Amino acid sequence: MRLVTVVVPSYNHEKYIKEAIESIINQSYKNIELIVIDDGSTDSSPKILEKLSKEYNFKYIHRENRGLSKTLNEALSLANGEYFSICASDDRFLLDKISKQVEFLESNLEYGVCYGNVISFNDLGVNRKVDVKNGKSGWIFKDLITANIIIPAPSSIIRTDILRELGGYSEDVLIEDWDMWLRVANIYQIGYLDDYLAYYRDHNNNTYKQTYKMFKAQKKILEKWIDYKDYNQALEVWQLDWFKSLSRRGYIDEAREYMGVAIKNLFDIDTFKILLKYYLIGSKNYKKD
């Protein structure tokens, strides 16, 4: 039975950390090495984790804040497993996640990563099944760089050797998972498991809701692939997305940079409505992040 390293990067999730840990401890797959690194939490997370580490006997580190990518790279340096999976401290794994993914990867040696669907949930107990749009296996680099496929972070598992081969996570980007999937997909096939594998917590602090930060981070990562043969096509897809998201959140001056792409896509009803509302009528019905 292959050893799987599961990493929990913890930061100020005192309300959720116990659920995250126990969703890993209770996995149907039992050969798991659990590494938890608290990245300088200022709430009671360290105290809770200290108690849990004694109860469940997992490796626990608490130190000053260094950021997510550095935390993941620290865990990678400690990992002994052949597979590497990450559970954010506010998410949860379904109890057969690791078992299903190890079985899939052991039977499909051509794939370096396995991903699947998630269940989005919130503090009110509302669950919503989220299937990966256009989810598929194979050489999916173009799908990833054009956002035709978005891999849900908690659903993923990767061969540890590949992570090390690529030098770990980039420490100069905000969206470290998208950056990594692009780097992996450029040289390895990626496998899709059409099943629900994890719970993703939806709340106001999710990074993807920070529009301007996400815009800058996406732009920075995309620029790394300027020599990719379909770069211009990918860039136009993202420029249209940036025009929409920036306009909706009130970054009108920033969005105007992509007006040309928006005008080229007037047939898109969403783009047409945004042009009408924010630029022709001049609506102020927005709130910046």
Q: Which residue has the tokens 């940079």?
A: 257
pLDDT at 46 over 90: yes
H-helix segments, the chain: 17-25, 45-56, 68-78, 97-107, 141-145, 160-165, 176-185, 211-223, 231-248, 252-256, 259-264, 269-274
For the stretch 72-89, pLDDT in tens is: 999 999 999 999 999 999
The percentage of the chain sitting over the pLDDT mark of 90, rounded to a whole number, equals 90
**Span 192-197, average pLDDT:** 98
Say how far apart CA 126 and CA 105 lie, in whole Å: 32
**Span 46-58, average pLDDT:** 98
One-letter identity of residue 37:
I
Say how far apart CA 60 and CA 258 lie, in whole Å: 46
Residue 273 CB burial class (10 angstroms; 0-12, 13-18, ≥19): exposed
Count, in order, helices (H) and strands (E) of the chain. Answer: 12, 9
For the stretch 150-164, pLDDT in tens is: 999 999 999 999 999
pLDDT at 205 over 80: no
Give backbone dihedrals phi and psi of 30, rounded to 5 degrees, phi first.
-100, -15
What's the alpha-carbon Rg for the chain, to the nearest Å?
20
Cβ neighbour number for residue 142 with a 10 Å cutoff: 15
For the stretch 125-153, pLDDT in tens is: 789 999 999 999 999 999 999 999 999 99
Average pLDDT value for the chain: 94
* Domain-wise residue ranges, the chain: 4-201, 210-280
- What is the pLDDT, as a whole number, of residue 288? 64
Strand partners, 117: 196
Cβ neighbour number for residue 209 with a 10 Å cutoff: 13
Give backbone dihedrals phi and psi of 11, rounded to 5 degrees, phi first.
-155, 110
283 or 183, higher pLDDT: 183
- What is the pLDDT, as a whole number, of residue 208? 45
- What is the pLDDT, as a whole number, of residue 163? 98
- Are the C-beta atoms of residues 277 and 198 closer than 8 Å to each other? no
**Span 94-107, average pLDDT:** 98
**Span 192-201, average pLDDT:** 97
One of 3.40.250.10, 3.30.460.10, 3.90.550.10, 1.10.3190.10 is the CATH number of 4-201, namely 3.90.550.10
Say how far apart CA 112 and CA 187 lie, in whole Å: 9
> DSSP assignment, residue 275?
I
**Span 227-233, average pLDDT:** 96
Say how far apart CA 77 and CA 160 lie, in whole Å: 10
For the stretch 1-39, pLDDT in tens is: 999 999 999 999 999 999 999 999 999 999 999 999 999
